[in-house]
Amino acid sequence: MMVMAQDAARQAPPRRRRAGRARGQRPGGPPRGGRSPSYGALDLGTNNCRLLIARPDGGEGFTVIDAFSRIVRLGEGLAASGRLSDESMDRAVAALGVCAQKLKRRNVTIARSVATEACRRAANGRQFVDRVRRETGIVLDIIPPQEEARLAVLGCHKLLGPGDGPAVIFDIGGGSTELVLVEPHGELPRIRAWWSAPWGVVSLTESEGRENIEGPDRIAAYDRMRRRAREGFARFAEWLPKDRADIRLLGTSGTVTTLASVYLELPSYDRRAVDGLHVPIDAMRLITQTIAERDPAGRAALPCIGTERADLVVAGCAILEAILDIWPASELGIADRGIREGILRSLMARDGYRL
């Protein structure tokens, strides 16, 4: 879906669930006589369950005091059945139970928990949300694609490279990919257009078939996935400016952070090395092609891919290359931040903290 928006990034988010407000809190600072309240942000995607717990740091940011991330593959099999499977829901509920314990242990006073493409598409998505509430106490808000895009921009836009030209910020998820065209506009960029395509690393992998991606004709399968993704972005590409001087590109997802780790040849993932990195596009294309050519064992042998990501990373590479085809920037900015950070900034700003 495409929309054109004036100052869309500044629109107020939907009302969020509050666990209460710290006594004596004053706008723009911590409560009188005590430290700042704890805020929680939970993002349940098609592939991952992620949680951040943080406090305002008294400046222009926040300090993370706890975090959690687990691959749950909630959307596994969704493309074929149209439903969340019992096994995938069990995995997600188990992970959300851990999140609930952390929220309680950290005395979180204000929290928002969101679910994205898998729950939007599944016929039993609402039933799953009800089960999560019964078993964990977490209230999931199934957000529309435009809210997902807005939160991603809010969470990572500060990592855009310098320049006065337009930029594309994208988030390759498990079930969908959000692309946002922004332009400079004060401290927060103005969203000019956004697009949500139904291809993420899980949905595109299942559409092509793992047997094709992993078989002897895997290069042909990769080309088909890349073409399918590019076709999914075609309408968004029509809205991109024809004058493309000083363009910028920023990605936030497990795909780009994983590929950045491969670029740096890290023995294990290091967020400090990856978040804010800028990688030349030629180098990134070489990495995607190399990964696409490898068999599953060869991909799993790369330290920051491993067996857990080896089957889905190829689809992520195909989606990334399709984005590079329509927005030929000279380098790719990497953000290990996104929806959760956008939620935190939104909640804290609403309570008067200047972020």
Q: What is the CATH number of the domain that holds 138?
A: 3.30.420.40
Are 305 and 226 within one domain?
yes
Do residue 325 and residue 344 come from a single domain? Answer: no
Mean pLDDT of all residues in the chain? 89
pLDDT band at 34 (very low <50, low <70, confident <90, very high): low
Question: Is residue 6 assigned to a domain?
Answer: no
pTM of this prediction?
0.85
Q: Are residues 177 and 49 in the same domain?
A: no
Amino acid type, 215: G
Residue 11: pLDDT band by 50, 70, 90 thresholds? Answer: very low
**178 & 233 share domain:** yes
pLDDT score of 17? 39
Specify whether 136 is located in the same domain as 166: no
171 and 100 co-located in one domain: no
> What single string gives the DSSP state of each residue in 57-113?
-SSSSEEEEEEEEEE--TTTTHHHHSS--HHHHHHHHHHHHHHHHHHHHTTEEEEEE
95 in a domain, yes or no?
yes
199 lies in the same domain as 217: yes
pLDDT in tens, 215-252: 999 999 999 999 999 999 999 999 999 888 889 999 99
Q: Are residues 47 and 152 in the same domain?
A: no
For residues 316 and 279, state if they share a domain: yes
56 and 22 co-located in one domain = yes
The answer to whether residues 331 and 288 touch, using CB atoms and an 8 Å cutoff, is: no
CB 9 within 8 A of CB 188: yes
Residue 204 has pLDDT above 80, yes or no: yes
Domain, as residue range, for 179: 147-335
Total structural domains within the chain: 2
Residues 241 and 262 in one domain: yes
Residue 158 and residue 186: Cα distance in Å, rounded? 12
65 and 82 co-located in one domain: yes
How does residue 152 score in pLDDT terms, banded at 50, 70 and 90? very high
Share of the chain above pLDDT 90, in %: 79
Contact call for residues 2 and 194 (beta carbons, < 8 A): yes
In a domain, 5, yes or no: no
Mean pLDDT of 56-65: 85
